Amino acid sequence: SQTFSEIDSKYGSNLVEVQTSHGKKNDFGDGTTKRTLNRMNILTASAIEIHNLPEGVTTYTGAAKDTKLGIALAIAIALHNIPEGIAVATPIYFATGSKFKALQRTFISALAEPFGGIIDWLITSDGLNANVNGIMFGLVAGMMVTISIKELIPTAHRFCLSRD
């Protein structure tokens, strides 16, 4: 069985400069690969934008109920948004080669969270109730799992297996 560090060094350590098994840089120049990465980016970014809306609602609801809870939620969600940003930026960077486009799309998807909080504030002054939050998170979680299983995992396997 492989340890985490062995798996990380094999698959995750070279995000900026992808190497093929024979050591030549792979710039993902083929059109099919770029289309696959663009499609994956659109799905991932859209899913994360939809996923971030209820996170904003939850952060606002927590802050409206208890300031310390709101701060704790904001910190926890901010930390978990780091890999989300990488998930949005990486495919667009490899598909386009543009750091600006990757940063731009990541920024747009990140704006969904404060937008969710603003929507909650406009609808209710004290935050949504727990049942509405639970239903919202259940729907978003199902969507994220579906996209992960149908798109992200198969695409990751296709790219990793082509490198071995």
How confident is the model over 89-110, as pLDDT tens digits? 888 888 888 999 999 999 998 8
Instruction: Give the three-class secondary structure for 28.
Output: coil
Alpha carbons 54 and 56: distance in angstroms, whole number:
5
Structure tokens at 145: 């799992």
Q: What is the mean pLDDT of residues 25-39?
A: 67
Q: How confident is the model at residue 161 (pLDDT cuts 50, 70, 90)?
A: low
| 50-69 pLDDT per residue, tens | 888 888 888 888 888 888 98
Res. 2: pLDDT tops 50:
no
Predicted confidence at residue 13, as pLDDT, reads 44
Contact (Cβ atoms closer than 8 angstroms) between residue 50 and residue 137? no
Phi and psi at 159, nearest 5°, equal -75, -40
The domain limits of the chain are 44-156
Phi and psi at 128, nearest 5°, equal -70, 155
Q: Which residue has the higher pLDDT, 52 or 26?
A: 52
Alpha carbons 115 and 105: distance in angstroms, whole number:
16
Q: How many helical (H) and strand (E) elements, i.e. helices and strands, does the chain have?
A: 7, 0
Structure tokens at 6: 């062995």
DSSP 21: T
Predicted confidence at residue 84, as pLDDT, reads 86
Q: One-letter amino acid identity for 160?
A: C
Please give the share of the chain, as a percent, with pLDDT higher than 90: 8
| 107-122 pLDDT per residue, tens | 998 899 899 889 888 8
Highest mean pLDDT of the ranges 16-20, 127-131, 136-140? 136-140
131 burial type by CB count under 10 A (0-12 exposed, 13-18 middle, 19+ buried): exposed
Res. 26: pLDDT tops 90:
no
